[in-house]
C-alpha cells in the first residue's frame, strides 16, 4: 500500500495533507523518516509514526449512525473551511466514509464507516436498499402528483426515477408532510422528483436507510450501530442483487420510518 494512502485511512487526513506531511519529514516507517508519499509499505507489518505518534496497524471497523444537520458537507475535509462530517465524529477516529450522500441543505441519517466492502454494497444500486425521506411541503399534493411519484418520473438528462412509495403522513398549519421511499440514489433525486411533479418542498430529511432508523438521535450527534442493526445491514446485501426493478410493498420500511419520526 502507498504510504500516503495508509496515512489517509489511519489518521483521517486528506490525501494532499498526507503528501505534505510526508514530504515535510513528519512520517517514519520502521524508525526511518520517509519523504516520498508513494513509498510502498506493508499495512499489516510496517510500524508507522506520524509526528512522533504510533499509527495503529489495523484500525477497527467502525459503524456510526449520524444525524446530519443543515449546511454540513458530506466529506471528510473542505479546503474552504466549511463544516464537514469530520467535525461531528469522536476525536481520534480514522477516516470514515459516508454511505449515501446528502446535500448540504438536506438533514437526516447518514451511515459513517471505514468498512469499505460493506459500504460499497450498501451504496450499489443493484441491491436496492430503500431510503425513507420526510418531506415538508408548502402545499398539499394532489392525488395525481402522488401517482406520478409512485409511477416514476422523467428527471431529464436521460434519467427516470423508478417507482416509489409516496404518502401524506401529516398536516400542520399550512405545511404538509410527505413520506417518500426510494431504492436508488441519483444526484439530488428527491428534489428533482418533487420539482418535476410540481411540488414545492421547504425541508427534506432522510429518516431511514434500509433497516436503520434515525429515531430520537439529536441533530449533530452520532452513535454506534447496535449488533442487531449491523447484522441487519449485512443481511440486506448478503444475497444476489435484486434486479426486479421494483421496490416491493415497502411495509417494513414504513415501519422503520415511523420509528424515526
Q: Which residues are catalytic?
A: 103
Distance, CA of 66 to CA of 87 (rounded, Å): 12
Closest CA to 75 of 96, 54, 92, 106: 96
The candidate with the shortest Cα–Cα distance to 132, out of 172, 70, 185, is 185
Task: Report the C-alpha dihedral over residues 77, 79, 81, 82, rounded to 10 degrees.
Answer: -70
Distance CA 219, CA 222 (A): 9
In our burial notation (b when 16+ CB lie closer than 10 A, e otherwise), range 83-102 reads ebbbebbeeeebbbbbbbeb
β-bridge mates for residue 50, sequence order: 27, 53
Cell of 61: 471497523
**Residues with Cβ within 8 Å of residue 152, at least 6 apart in sequence:** 160, 161, 162, 163, 164
Amino acid at each position: 500500500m502507498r504510504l500516503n494512502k495508509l496515512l489517509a485511512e489511519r489518521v483521517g487526513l486528506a490525501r494532499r495533507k498526507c503528501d505534505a506531511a510526508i514530504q515535510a519529514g513528519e512520517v517514519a516507517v520502521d524508525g526511518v523518516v520517509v519523504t516520498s508519499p508513494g513509498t510502498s509499505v506493508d499495512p499489516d507489518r510496517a510500524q508507522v509514526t506520524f509526528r512522533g505518534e504510533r499509527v495503529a496497524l489495523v484500525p477497527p471497523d467502525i459503524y456510526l449512525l449520524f444525524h446530519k444537520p443543515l449546511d454540513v458537507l458530506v466529506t471528510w475535509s473542505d479546503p474552504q473551511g466549511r463544516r464537514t462530517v469530520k467535525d461531528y465524529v469522536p476525536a481520534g477516529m480514522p477516516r470514515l466514509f459516508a454511505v449515501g450522500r446528502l446535500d448540504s441543505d438536506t438533514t437526516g441519517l447518514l451511515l459513517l464507516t471505514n468498512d469499505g466492502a460493506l459500504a460499497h454494497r450498501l451504496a450499489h444500486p443493484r441491491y436496492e436498499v430503500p431510503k425513507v425521506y420526510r418531506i415538508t411541503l408548502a402545499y398539499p399534493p394532489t392525488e395525481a402528483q402522488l401517482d406520478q411519484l409512485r409511477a416514476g418520473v422523467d428527471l431529464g438528462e436521460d434519467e427516470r426515477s423508478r417507482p416509489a412509495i409516496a404518502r401524506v403522513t401529516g398536516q400542520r398549519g399550512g405545511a404538509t408532510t410527505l413520506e417518500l421511499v426510494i431504492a436508488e440514489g441519483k444526484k439530488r433525486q428527491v428534489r428533482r422528483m418533487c420539482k418535476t411533479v410540481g411540488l414545492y418542498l421547504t425541508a427534506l430529511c432522510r429518516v431511514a436507510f434500509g433497516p436503520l432508523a434515525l429515531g430520537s438521535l439529536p441533530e449533530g450527534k452520532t452513535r454506534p450501530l447496535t449488533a442487531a442493526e449491523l447484522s441487519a445491514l449485512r443481511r440486506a446485501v448478503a444475497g444476489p442483487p435484486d434486479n426486479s426493478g421494483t421496490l416491493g410493498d415497502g411495509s417494513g420500511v414504513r415501519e422503520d420510518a415511523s420509528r424515526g419520526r
